[in-house]
Amino acid sequence: MGKSGKVQKRRFELYRRMLGTETLREIAEDQAEEYDMKAKSILNDWYNREEWVDDIFLGTDTPDFEDLVAEKKMTMKEAWDVIEEVKNSDEKPDYGHLVRALKQIDKSAGEIIKLLQSHGDIEKEPEKHEVRQRIEKVNISVDTLDVDEIDEDEIELEASE
């Protein structure tokens, strides 16, 4: 496998693992050791993924996009099978097993959505930005004001606070 094939394979693996539960730092450290690179290079690669993410699905050495989605769907089916098995069992239900299966279904559904969004098949939810303004309360000493400058509304407002 040539250099570009290795890079494509590493990027695909990075992308696939980022859909899981590992942190970027963990993945970068693992890949840095495996590919004899600096972790910082892998971090930068992830931050610049818009330049290469489409290319990883076009290579012949990596599974295609549909394979990734199919893998996630299979994981969900297996989790649903566990739920059905527990549901149909005559024994006391193992609720921990049910909860783990439901969490896996939820995780896999989220990963499928991420895949479809990154591939452009569904729109990403617009980012929500919250704007907050810091308001500082200014206290003015009565000694510095002329009595004529004080408004009665201000005095009542301050007294009610």
Whether 121 and 72 map to the same domain: the answer is yes
Please tell me the predicted confidence (pLDDT) of residue 30: 94
Whether 55 and 103 map to the same domain: the answer is no
| Distance separating alpha carbons of residues 15 and 30, to the nearest angstrom | 14
Please tell me the predicted confidence (pLDDT) of residue 69: 76
Q: Is the pLDDT of residue 71 over 50?
A: yes
Whether 54 and 74 map to the same domain: the answer is no
SS3 161: coil
> Range of 24's domain?
1-62
| Distance separating alpha carbons of residues 38 and 33, to the nearest angstrom | 8
Burial class (CB in 10 A: 0-12, 13-18, 19+), 84: exposed
Could you tell me which residue, 127 or 61, shows the higher pLDDT? 127
When pLDDT is averaged across residues 16-44 and rounded to a whole number, the result is: 89
Could you tell me if 29 and 39 are in contact, meaning their C-beta atoms sit under 8 angstroms apart? yes
Please tell me the predicted confidence (pLDDT) of residue 32: 94
- Tell me how far apart the 2 most distant CA atoms of the chain are, in Å: 86
Q: Specify the CATH number for the domain of residue 85.
A: 1.10.287
Question: Cα–Cα distances in Å, from 128 out to 20, 94, 110, 124?
Answer: 24, 39, 19, 12
Question: Cα–Cα distances in Å, from 132 out to 53, 129, 135?
Answer: 35, 10, 9
- Residue 56 in any domain: the answer is yes
Whether 112 and 76 map to the same domain: the answer is yes
Whether 101 and 52 map to the same domain: the answer is no
DSSP for residue 58: T
Whether 53 and 43 map to the same domain: the answer is yes
State both tokens at 52. 């290469």
pTM beyond 0.75, yes or no? no
Whether 46 and 89 map to the same domain: the answer is no
DSSP for residue 120: T
Q: How many domains are contained in the chain?
A: 2
Domain boundary among 125, 141, 156: 125
Domain boundary among 22, 39, 62: 62
Whether 68 and 50 map to the same domain: the answer is no
Please tell me the predicted confidence (pLDDT) of residue 78: 82
Q: Is the pLDDT of residue 56 over 70?
A: yes
Q: Count the Cβ atoms, other than its own, within 10 Å of residue 75.
A: 17
Closest CA to 9 of 49, 56, 54, 53: 56
